[in-house]
Structures are given as C-alpha cells and as structure tokens.
Amino acid sequence: MRSIGFLVFDGFQVMGMAALSVFEVANVIAGKPLYDIHILSKAGGPVRNSLGFSIDTAPMGDVFHDTTITTGSLTVKPAPPALLDYLRGAVTGSRRVAGICTGAFVLAEAGLLEGKRATTHWGHARSLAQRYPGVRMEEDRIFVQDGNIWTSAGMSAGIDLALALVEEDLGRDLARSVARAMVVYLRRPGGQSQFSTLLELEPKSDRVRKALTYARENLRNELSVEELADAARLSPRQFSRVFRLETGQSPAKAVEHLRLEAARAMMEEGRHPMEVIARETGFADRERMRRAFLRTYGQPPQVLRRAADNERIMGTA
C-alpha cells in the first residue's frame, strides 16, 4: 500500500484537498486499500483552512511517505520553517514530491524547484518566476513533472495531477475509472493549456453553450452550422447571428479551435498516430490538420508532437 503525506498549514487553500478524493476513490474502485492518506502539519492537531474551519492533522515528525504533497494558500505568504525543512528531507525520503496550485511557491522556497520545470496557478505564475528566477516556469500547463517533482496549476488542476499519479502507479485503466467515478470529463494531460476553448469563448446563453458542448463531444461529425443550430434548437440563420454576437467568432472558427485543443491533448498522450488523431478530432486527414495548426500555432503538429515527447522523456528522467 502506498502512503500519501498531505502537508497543510494555517490558512491553506481548501480546494487543494480535492486531490485526495482521487486516492480515496481509487481505493473504493479497487475494493482494497491502495493508498493510505495522512494529513500532516507541524505539530498536529486542528489546522484552520481558507474557509475558516479546522481539520485534524497528525504531526509531520521525521517519517516520510511514498508521495508527499503540499498545498498552497490563496494569498502567497512565507511557509512555516518546519514545513520547508520537512520538504527538503522529503525530496530524498519520498518517491515523489508534489505542489498543488501555489504549493509550487512552498516547493520553490524550500529550494526544490531550482533548475526544475514547474507550473502554478496562471494568476501567480509570473510572480513565482520573478521571485525564483532559477525555476523554469511553464505558466500555461495543467501540471508538470520534472524527475520526482510534480507541480500543478490552480484549483481543479490538482485533481488532474493526482489522476496522473494514480496512472503512473496503477495504470491508465484505473485512472480512467477514477475519473469517471468523480464525473471528471477527461483527465487532462499535463501539457494542456490552463485556458480551455470553452472558457475563452464565454458563451452567455444556455443554447450556445449547449451547442459548443455538443460540438466538443462529437468532433468526428461534420459539425455544420445546421447541425449545431439543431443542437441549440435555433434556426441556422438565428444561430449564426447569436453565436457570433456572444463569442465574437464564427461557429466554424470555434469548432476548429475545439478540434485543435482535442488534437493537442491526444498528442500529449503520445499513444496515437497522426492519422488517428486527425480522424478522431474531425480534421479527416493529416493535411487539413496540418494547415489548421499552422494557422493557429505557426507550427505543424509534428513539431508540437516532438515537444510533447521530449517533455515526457524529461519528466521521467
């Protein structure tokens, strides 16, 4: 059984604890204890979180767990010295050390991110890079693995990091089962942008939002204006007008962005040939996908695929 040491301190951001549900659900699905979770603080006892209520903790002591995870706080502040000392020991005493959201600041303060690739919440990424110039900040990543050090973006990205840890430990099938049980739409690969196409479009009406959700879930379809309008229960003419008014772009351009986002995610996984990616994301063929990548990213998909492959190699080195 693998032990998880989850480090907290006064005022820690409570959303970070959502990552622990991944390990809890893994135990339930497996029908046996795969993970033993320990919530730790300097001296043990009750520790108040960002919402003002307390949770019981055990003292950190001098015992290290298989995986040590630290969360952060909504307002970045210096970490307790005892916590930093514990993390410095955990980098060799634990198999893996992770920082969720602004927990990356805690890892950086402990000196664990010097020369390492890392990420954090997009709203704090530049601050971390300025404060710790030795960190190789990748501010638009969901999570980053560099050796045995893992960091994640903010809020729900801690769940993605935890799912990746489960996948590394116990395989892709179990991680997917956990994601389904938690009603997580998709375990996002680490290299995926923190900003999703649906968030950037910011549709205001339920009808346009429904059409975009339909498009994302049916990328292999043609996704013509008529098909999307039918999903939104609007006439094609009315749908095109409302869609552009709410999102600032045409339905065709929005669909292309959704296809590109899905294609990049599949490339990050590294398991599919380009022909399969083009077919599954609705580009139909590699050439059409290549042109879309050049228009949007200024690079062909092969270049981005090689970068993703190199990132995985570096992460496991």
Q: Is residue 186 part of a domain?
A: no
The reported pTM is: 0.67
Q: Known catalytic residue: 101?
A: yes
3-class SS string, the chain: CEEEEEECCCCECHHHHHHHHHHHHHHHHHCCCCEEEEEEECCCEEEEECCCCEEEEEECCCCCCCEEEECCCCCCCCCCHHHHHHHHHHHHHCCEEEECCCHHHHHHHCCCCCCCEECCCCCCHHHHHHHCCCCEECCCCCEEEECCEEEECCCCHHHHHHHHHHHHHHCHHHHHHHHHHCCCCCCCCCCCCCCCHHHHHCCCCHHHHHHHHHHHHCCCCCCCHHHHHHHHCCCHHHHHHHHHHHHCCCHHHHHHHHHHHHHHHHHHHCCCCHHHHHHHCCCCCHHHHHHHHHHHHCCCHHHHHHHHHHHHHHHHC
pLDDT per position as a tens digit, 87-99: 999 999 999 999 9
Residue 190's pLDDT band (boundaries 50, 70, 90)?
Answer: very low
Residue 185's pLDDT band (boundaries 50, 70, 90)?
Answer: low
298 phi, psi to nearest 5 deg? 75, 10
Query: Are 85 and 128 part of one and the same domain?
Result: yes
Q: Is residue 189 part of a domain?
A: no
The CATH number assigned to the domain holding 165 equals 3.40.50.880
**Out of 80-89, 200-209, 249-258, 303-312, least confident range:** 303-312
What pLDDT is recorded for position 138?
84
Query: Are 204 and 146 part of one and the same domain?
Result: no
* pLDDT surpasses 60 at 193: no
Residue with tokens 């769940």: 159
Domain that holds residue 206: 196-317
Query: Are 86 and 223 part of one and the same domain?
Result: no
Query: Are 163 and 247 part of one and the same domain?
Result: no
pLDDT per position as a tens digit, 136-168: 988 778 889 999 999 998 878 899 999 999 999
C-alpha span between 152 and 70 (Å, rounded): 11
Catalytic residue among 76, 101, 166, 263: 101
Number of domains in the chain: 2
Query: Are 75 and 159 part of one and the same domain?
Result: yes
Query: Are 218 and 268 part of one and the same domain?
Result: yes
